[in-house]
Structure 1
Amino acid sequence: MSVAEAEAELSDVEREALELVRETGGIHQSDFWKELDVSSRKGSRIAEKLLEKELIRREETVYDGHNTYLLLPTARDLDFSLLMAGDMLSPFIGEEEVDPNSDSFTQWLMNLAYEE
């Protein structure tokens, strides 16, 4: 099932929940249901449905001294466009230090300038 098909099957509150996870970049489940103004039980059911459809992912965590889950957008929802210049990924990704006089950095900047 494609992402579009999975999203088409969502109720209004489930769509709102998915947008909340995407917009925040990740939210603790204990805050998730409060933000949606639903009970913790309904919030858990909504999170489960989004998980089943692989629209979000969940990691165990401790928040305010309690065990909970961090609800995160799936990787396909992340926007990497700000790291790109044309078809080149920023040279700052994965390197401790980048030499601003390097050829790779210069080429990346030139590609960035040509996009505008």
Structure 2
Amino acid sequence: MSSADPETDLSEDERRGLQLIRETGGIHQSDFWKELDVSSRKGSRIVDSLADQEMIEREEAVYDGHNTYYLKPTAKDLDFSLLMAGDMLSPFVGDEEVDPRSDQFTQWLMNLAYEE
């Protein structure tokens, strides 16, 4: 029977691979196996396993003139808590420029202060 946290079921190489992808925010598969210091074949097996378990996303890419994959963490892996103050999302998230003297920013900061 599988444990509640699927990461505990990963091999040491899979854990290292997942950590590398998370830390880089995304890496080409051709660099991935080199960074892990494993063979390309073993690197491909690690990527297949992590992708099958939906822990990473794999997109086709061309890198240095070769077809490869770009590996990135899944969206569920991203931590947005640092952008939150209570139930308010940071006003700096988005395309518009935010005036740090605005009421919107002041309210967000006040909510942030109340969390502590």
TM-score, normalising length: structure 1: 0.86
**How many angstroms apart in 1 are the aligned matches of 2:47 and 2:19?**
12
**How many percent identity over aligned positions?**
76
After superposition, residues 56-75 of structure 1 pair within 5 angstroms as: 56-75=56-75
What is the letter of the counterpart of residue 49 of structure 1?
S
Please state how far the C-alpha of 1:58 moved relative to its aligned partner.
Answer: 0.9
8 Å contact from structure 2 (residues 3, 9) kept in 1: no
TM-score, normalising length: structure 2: 0.86
- Residues 16-49 of structure 1: CA distance to partner in whole angstroms, max 9, x if unpaired? 1111111111111011101111111110111001
8 Å contact from structure 1 (residues 25, 72) kept in 2: yes
User: Which shifted more, 97-106 or 7-16?
Assistant: 97-106
Which ranges in structure 1 are unaligned for 5 or more consecutive residues?
none
State the aligned residue count: 115
Corresponding residue for residue 33 of structure 1: 33
8 Å contact from structure 1 (residues 3, 55) kept in 2: no
Corresponding residue for residue 78 of structure 1: 78
Corresponding residue for residue 23 of structure 1: 23
Over 3 Å counting, the alpha-carbon distance change for 1:77 and 1:2 in structure 2 is farther
What is the letter of the counterpart of residue 23 of structure 2?
E
Over 3 Å counting, the alpha-carbon distance change for 1:67 and 1:2 in structure 2 is farther
**3-state DSSP of counterpart to 2:61:** strand
After superposition, residues 67-106 of structure 1 pair within 5 angstroms as: 67-106=67-106
Query: What is the root-mean-square deviation of aligned Cα atoms in Å?
Result: 1.9
**How many angstroms apart in 2 are the aligned matches of 1:2 and 1:102?**
48
Please state how far the C-alpha of 1:2 moved relative to its aligned partner.
Answer: 8.2
8 Å contact from structure 2 (residues 27, 72) kept in 1: yes
User: Which shifted more, 23-32 or 63-72?
Assistant: 63-72
8 Å contact from structure 2 (residues 99, 105) kept in 1: yes
**3-state DSSP of counterpart to 2:71:** strand
Please state how far the C-alpha of 1:99 moved relative to its aligned partner.
Answer: 3.1
